[in-house]
Structure 1
Amino acid sequence: MNAPTTTVPAPVAVPTSTAEWLRAILTAPVYDIAKRTPLEAAPRLSKRLNNTIWLKREDLQPVFSFKLRGAYNRLCQLSTEERARGVVAVSAGNHAQGVALGARELGIDAVIVMPATTPQIKVSAVEALGARAVLHGDSYDEAAAHGYAIAERDGRSLIHPYDDPAVIAGQATVAMELLAQHRGKVDAVFVPVGGGGLCAGMAVYLKSLDPSIRVIAVEPNDAACLDAAIRAGAPVRLEQIGLFVDGCAVRQIGRLPFELLRDRVDEVVTVDSDQVCAAIRDVFEDTRSIVEPAGALALAGMKRWITENAAEGRELAVVLSGANMNFDRLGHVTERAEIGEQHEALFGVTIPERAGAFLDFCRRIGRRAVTEFNYRYQRADQAQVYVGIKLKGGAAERMAIRQTLESAGYHTADYTENEVARLHVRHLVGGPGAVGVRERCFRFEFPERPGALLHFLETLGSEHNISLFHYRNHGAAYGRVLAAFQVSPDSDVRFEAALSRLGFWYREETDNPALQQFLG
């Protein structure tokens, strides 16, 4: 999260030469507590991207983040008197846990100031490591001001998350390990950037040993503080930042990291949240591990860089910086990963309101996998369908689908990149049915396989008008559908015969009280 916007003068002397920086890095006692994390190959990703991809697994640290390295190195620099007075840190995430664990190992009393809005899981994690969590304010800046006040009042040493030479030297040991673990030439290393401490330390080490290695910084496009600083020639404060990549949601790059990076970083790549979600899935598919958004940030940037530079046959390393993922975010990540990888297209389509029209529309889509259908009867002459379609051919296939639908006479809007449609409209397709029209509503489950939805509609949708339809592919073995049909009393027998021919599990929900309340 954001770090203090005013930098407290660091009591540790700042190295003034490359030799001094290397000495600080090589002598950092991080292995008293941190692990030498593996540099793992990513075979599936490497094959797909035509490059050799290596993953530096900092998500495997004891606190599931690289932050432990810098925090512990800084704590080790404290004098006996400073240790006796204790320390304070301001963080709502990984730095908090790194300071808490390091302080516990060294017998130092630690206070971690966190915004009152911090999820309880993170507060509990800090307290479980022996630190005292103090919740203050609704924003990071308010918590930071309180942390500084505690440091001043109690004489505690403030452990800054990135604008401190000892912290930077500790983080740089990631690069030291990476070069020792990789056999042969590394062409480029991709590093996530929040406040810049990790990237600065790694850039110092990598460029000192092999200036030909490209150091590529990766930032969220809605929190690109390094990119803004490079353009301005000095650190600048961003007015607004996005919070999805919370581990890198920093308003202003650190002053010391910026001084180290301005002549050492080769490029800055920015990515959006959907690209980060796609990278989280990529990591899972190669490692069966789930990293947090900041942990996948560098990989998302690497993928964009490969595409934009048509890079092939390179040796590329990325830092998976952390794995402190809230479980309740996984549904959002899964949904958005499809968009980020251009594996799903979303359309709003107007079709005629008549029996069989829904089936005709699905035949136009063909045997493509449908990821979502939202529909509710609204007018007597036309219907609005919100549909998601799984893509194999990316943007080109998405355009071809739209052309196919429009050539068939359907008015078609592409909502794949419409944020309101993706986040909200898909859940708001609904409302009461037509007055005086008899509806029967059912839940269905059918196997998730190409053509299953088409079979469903061919069996049930040609005679009886479908007045409500909701379907979302959640990656399970069975798809779940809620559908309503306009069925007159004299056609109940024929309709129920069609249900029996369907061969899928179903249950009537016409009298379900929730449906009665919200869908009439």
Structure 2
Amino acid sequence: MSQPQPQLAPQPLTCAEYLRDILRAPVYEVAQVTPLQTMSRLSERLGNHVHLKREDRQPVHSFKLRGAYNMMAQLTVAQQQAGVIAASAGNHAQGLALSGKQLGVQATIVMPLTTPNIKVEAVKGFGGKVVLHGNNFDEAKAHAIELAERHGFTFIPPFDHPAVIAGQGTIGMELLQQNGHLDYVFLPVGGGGLAAGVAVLLKQLLPQIKVIGVEAEDSACLQAALDAGEPVTLDHVGMFADGVAVKRIGDETFRLCQQHLDDVITVSSDEICAAVKDIFEDTRAIAEPSGALSLAGLKKYADTHQIHQQQLAAVLSGANLNFHGLRYVSERCELGEKREGILAVTIPERQGAFLDFCHILGGRAVTEFNYRYNDDSLANVFVGVRLQQGQDELDNIIADLRHGGYPVVDLSDDEMAKQHVRYMIGGRPSKPLQERLYSFEFPEYPGALLKFLNTLGTRWNISLFNYRNHGADYGRVLCGFELEQQDILSFTSYLRELGYQWQDETENPAYRFFLAQ
């Protein structure tokens, strides 16, 4: 007979009950009190006192250990003997595995087939039993629940349970012990467990502290829930900050975040990359994207709200980064800091035109210049320019170029231009084509690219193809197809059936400038 799974309390816990549970959580039987480190360089740059809570210093290199252990320590003897199970491709899996090892409880973790081997081996190294199943998290979770029912395992959720929330809330207790004069605390939000636990504690003890939730703009499930007044399910989430790539915030975590967070801010992938760089420059630690999320929000919020000479804290929530993902971070961090601008500029095809163009730039460093001869009159160039003064400087450059007779389009926020087109400059077709352009994102399981090509390439002619992967468990493809007008409806219907995330990019200006006929 299967053991019952712990459910949310029939009546939600009061704030006082959460405070009690946080204060007596036994997490320090396995977790560490992590340092609150001052970021000297960033503090000077921002004109504030910036502190970083180093949860990357936990034995599993993330905060998830706290919540997993707190819940597992409270299971009955029968539940512990039966074992526990979870679905995770990352930090929750490692936290559960180490908690099980500490408590003598068998922990089974269902991980998608797409999970990088480094994460699988890390879970095994902490004593967890790994079951690889499914091509995404949803399929892995469904299998984990099925196994829980079949074998009597207790399912340990990653965020939406009072015991998990209370375990994560111990971070807030440490923050107050380490700096009782904080003015703002910035917390990453995925499913909301960390933000809920820390916020409910801070607002009970020092309510004057402003507590700000930070979300990745392509997985902002909390903001969507706040707008709707209740949790909603996002159609799609971006996977760059995979630790917070959650489609639906938890019911209990939403209740607490709605009640106790003072504000929520979203940040872009480029802004996250810039925060990864800031952390490295100040601490020499390498954060995973979701680990740098709250610092990215701190920087943006301080700038937007003109905050000066305040005590600001952010949580470095994890450092389980696939090393090859640093390629993407390195490419994009300057854009995230507004230290680089990307422009499409039309220049006349005559001798000395490029020299005149450089004179207008006024000696600024050119970080990238892509050009290929097109015709005898005009040429389109893809140019990167290093900036010292951010967006205002870029606006001045654009104004100077236009005044000098150079048509220009700012591509600094054009994802397709930054992800694909900059590597494909000069690839115009040699004959007229009825071409439409699409971008795709699909999981990196064995045979995924072959399936893509076999499914689409055998029915429609592929006229353009660029594949990019930065060590993540998903790949990005930019693909052109020869399509007559009467084929478009059936083609898009087929794309929906295929199940990959896709977007029509035919009208994208970067494509029109550099790749289209």
**Structure 2 length normalisation: TM-score?**
0.79
Whether the 8 Å contact between 1:298 and 1:318 is mirrored in structure 2 is: yes
Do structure 1's residue 114 and structure 2's residue 101 form an aligned pair?
Answer: no
2:196 corresponds in structure 1 to 200
Q: Which runs of structure 2 are paired with 1:1-400 in the superposition (5 Å)?
A: 10=7, 16-182=13-179, 184-400=180-396
Alignment TM-score, normalising by the size of structure 1: 0.79
Is the contact between residue 377 and residue 433 of structure 1 (CA under 8 Å) also seen in structure 2? no
Query: 1:407: Cα distance to partner?
Result: 2.2
Residues 15 and 21 of structure 1 are in contact (CA less than 8 Å); yes or no, is this contact kept in structure 2?
no
Deviating more after overlay: 64-73 vs 238-247: 238-247
- Matches of 2:398 and 2:226 in 1, distance apart? 41
Asked whether the equivalents of residues 116 and 137 of structure 1 are also in contact (C-alpha less than 8 Å), the reply is yes
- Structure 2 Cα separation of the partners of residues 100 and 394 of structure 1: 45
Supply the AA of the counterpart residue of 2:173. Answer: M
| 1:322-366 Cα shifts (integer Å, max 9, x gaps) | 111111111211221111111111111222323433333223323
- CA–CA distance in 2 between the matches of 1:32 and 1:16? 24
- Give the Cα separation in 1 of the matches to 2:293 and 2:163: 24
**Secondary structure in 2 matching 1:263:** helix
Once the two structures are aligned, what percentage of the paired residues are identical?
Answer: 54
What is the rounded CA distance, in whole Å, between the counterparts of 2:71 and 2:410 in structure 1? 52
- Structure with the greater alpha carbon radius of gyration: 1
Deviation per residue, 1:233-261 (Å, 9 max, x gap): 22111122221111111111111112222
Q: CA deviation at 1:174?
A: 0.4
Alignment-mate amino acid for residue 188 of structure 1:
Y
Q: Distance in 2 between matches of 1:40 and 1:367?
A: 39
- Counterparts of 1:498-509 in structure 2, within 5 Å, are none
- Where structure 1 has 5 or more consecutive residues not aligned to the other structure, the ranges are 1-6, 435-520
Q: Secondary structure of the residue that 2:371 maps to in structure 1?
A: strand
Does residue 1:418 correspond to 2:425, yes or no? no
Query: Does the Cα contact within 8 Å between 2:276 and 2:286 map onto a contact in 1?
Result: yes
Does the 8 Å contact 2:6/2:154 carry over to 1?
Answer: no
Shift of 1:423: 1.3
Contact 1:349 1:384 in 2 (8 A): yes
SS of the equivalent of 1:306 reads: helix
Give the Cα–Cα distance (whole angstroms) in 2 for the partners of residues 74 and 349 of structure 1. Answer: 57
Q: Please, which moves more after superposition, 378-387 or 116-125? A: 378-387
Mapped partners of 1:385, 1:260: distance in 2: 51
Letter in 2 for 1:21: Y
The farther-off stretch of 346-355 and 210-219 is 346-355
RMSD (Å), alpha carbons: 2.0
Cα offset for 1:11?
Answer: 7.0
CA contact (8 A) 1:14 1:165 kept: no
Native 8 Å contact 1:56 1:317 kept in 2: yes
Amino acid at match of 2:325: R
Deviation per residue, 1:432-482 (Å, 9 max, x gap):
999xxxxxxxxxxxxxxxxxxxxxxxxxxxxxxxxxxxxxxxxxxxxxxxx
Paired amino acid for 1:240: H
More divergent stretch after superposition (125-134 vs 407-416): 407-416
Q: Is the 8 A contact 2:5 2:154 kept in 1?
A: no
Classify 1:11/1:155 alpha carbon distance in 2 versus 1 (closer, same or farther; 3 Å). farther
Within 2, Cα distance between the matches of 1:224 and 1:20? Answer: 29
Q: Spell out, residue by residue over 1:392-427, the C-alpha distance to the aligned partner (whole angstroms, 9 max, x if none).
A: 111111111112222222222221122221111111
Instruction: Note if contact 1:374-1:387 (Cα within 8 Å) is conserved in structure 2.
Output: yes
2 CA distance for matches of 1:14 and 1:126? 35
Change (3 A) 1:396 1:42: same
How far off its partner does 1:63 sit? 0.8
For 2:378 and 2:209, how far apart are their aligned partners in 1? 60
